[in-house]
Amino acid sequence: MDEKLRVIISGGGTGGHIFPAVSIANAIRSKHPDAEILFVGAEGRMEMQRVPAAGYEIKGLPICGFDRKNPLKNIKVLYKIWKSQRMAKKIIKQFRPMVAVGVGGYASGPTLNKAAAMGIPCLIQEQNSYAGVTNKLLAKKAEKICVAYDHMERFFPAEKIIKTGNPVRQSLLDTTLTREEALRSMNLHPENKTILLVGGSLGARTINESVLQHLEDIKKYHQVQFIWQTGKYYSAHIAEELKRLGKPENLLVTDFITDMGTAYKAADLVISRAGASSISEFCLIGKPVILVPSPNVAEDHQTKNAMALVEKDAALYVKDSEAPEKLIPLALETVYNDQQLNNLHTNILKLALPDSADIIADEVIKLAKWK
């Protein structure tokens, strides 16, 4: 390729979209160090901070989702979509990408629509087992569709699908610490069983309530230790509750974990939501997990993600509405069952799809050459 490679990557809204997008960009850069990569995101969403922190330029569109509860507010939404389409066209004209990549999220809609209309080849990456609305709409215009699950021809033209898996944060795979070293670095006991609870950067209310309702059980099992990421949104309330109820000594509480590689290495068992990126991480590191799918997502796709693992005996599942009662008792029962932990570890590893970012980057580069 004589001309310098230029790629637009669009999407975001959650870490589940942003982590794969940055991983794809890093893989492209590793193959073409002089490549120009421009991100297009949604104004006010987390990609506007996370992408620059990863070393890439980003442009923001005023795009947002429809308000299903207040239809009158959608007049403003329609204006924002129209404005975003115009802005996306201007960005594309100025940057002149050879290929456009969509990772899902609001911004990928207008960006890839305009790119396709201007004759630029498009690739979309669908992280979930149940395709998102934006990607379903974009599928007809895309040359390639990279997926992480089987049976995605339900949503996309079969001839366009490539099963690549979801790119994950490289830092998780690069952790060289042993379990004992990871535990010591967190001032925890290497000989004790360890349960890690994570609900994303903002937290998960149900997982947090499950802990608060079972503090007495946690105290009783003093040979099990808990690492609890509450999320920044809930941290003040939880601090007050623990002050009132008493914090068990075997409960390590933090609002946010910066080094997830070390936390995963320390854990014998993880409790987590069922976002696609998280599941891909658990598969690659072979981590036994209890999944509590969020009910507050489009088309209940987290439950579908979870069941894809549960059906293969690769994860355990607790319904969100039943978690406050059942989650902690199930976790305590599971963490002592070494045979079950080993089975979960073995089965989830079988579902790992390594080198996803490299495979997707190769497809992006092929499309750029074709252009």
For 122-166, write each residue's pLDDT tens digit.
Answer: 999 998 888 888 899 999 999 999 999 889 999 999 999 999 999
- 228 φ, ψ (degrees, to nearest 5): -120, 105
Q: How far apart are CA 11 and CA 318, in angstroms?
A: 30
Q: Residue 192 in contact with residue 223, Cβ under 8 Å?
A: yes
Q: How far apart are CA 80 and CA 147, in angstroms?
A: 29
Nearest to 331 by CA among 321, 317, 346, 313: 317
Q: Residue 162 in contact with residue 144, Cβ under 8 Å?
A: yes
For 59-68, write each residue's pLDDT tens digit.
Answer: 999 998 877 7
Question: Which whole number is the average pLDDT over 15-29?
Answer: 90
3-state secondary structure of 220: helix
Name the pLDDT band for 245 (thresholds 50, 70, 90). very high
Asked whether residue 1 carries a pLDDT value surpassing 60, the answer given is no
The H-assigned helical ranges of the chain are 15-31, 47-53, 74-95, 108-117, 133-138, 170-173, 179-185, 205-212, 215-220, 235-245, 260-266, 276-285, 301-310, 323-335, 338-349, 356-370
- 192 φ, ψ (degrees, to nearest 5): -90, 145
Predicted TM-score (pTM) of this structure: 0.85
Q: What percent of the chain clears pLDDT 90, i.e. is strictly above it?
A: 76
Angle, helix 276-285 to helix 15-31, in steps of 10 degrees: 60
For 187-204, write each residue's pLDDT tens digit.
Answer: 999 999 999 999 865 558
Tell me what the pLDDT averaged over the chain comes to: 92
Question: Letter for the amino acid at 60?
Answer: G
